[in-house]
Amino acid sequence: MAAVRNAVVLAGGKGTRLAPYTTVFPKPLMPLGETPILDIVLRQLVGHGFSRVTLAVGYLAELIEAYFGAGERLGVSLRYARELEPLGTAGPLSLIDGLTQPFLVMNGDVLTTLDYGRFLDEHVASGATATVATFRRTHTVDFGVVEADAGGLVLDYLEKPAAEYLVSMGVNALSPEALEFVGHGERLDLPELILRLIRAGRAVRSAPFDGYWLDIGRHDDFAKAQQEFAAHRADFLGA
């Protein structure tokens, strides 16, 4: 019997970077066209074989619960883990029962064409404790950068240098043993959990992705996501 694909979607943040919209509206319900971003994420998860999803909620949780209910409309078994106080991006995992198989944990405001099912399967096959989905980003400094020694002598002058980084996509796969590093009710973010695993000698993988990915947490990115989703809806939802 195949393992049940289980996901935890983080939907409890205040979305302060998208204020004033998120003052009275939770960020996961911010719409791309007429469809909330969290609705898109859940449809993608269902399409990639996930049958159980837990929404970690906090800020304006009642609006999210009223919109999605138990998940019948989307064909998924949906439950909620409500924070009484903010627990970060990893802390809510300590509130969720039944995470006995490798599972996905991801942000609820990610627009991507990543195949979540394949990502989880590759994590399981690797035997790692955690896998972080990563995306290559280039950062360009908009100024001339001067390198000088302690005495003020200029050693180099770089005009608008660029550097490449692997950035986290906000999508991760964890094996159950990772939960041993999260205290019950502890406020903890995923980067710190990943560092705890590394320091303990556990295997943590990077899984680079070269498809489409956008975090809609900022106004500019939200506007871009609106355009991209309208133009390429089928790429994200397969219909």
Catalytic residues: 160
Is the Cβ–Cβ distance between 129 and 197 less than 8 Å?
yes
Please name the helix (run of DSSP H) or strand (run of DSSP E) that holds residue 118, with its range, or none.
helix 116-126
Angle between helices 37-47 and 61-68 (to 10 degrees): 50
Token pair for 91? 């802390």
Give yes or no for a cis peptide into 20 (omega within 30° of 0).
yes
CA distance 198 to 129: 10
Cα separations (Å) of 54 from 73, 87, 139, 159? 15, 16, 34, 48
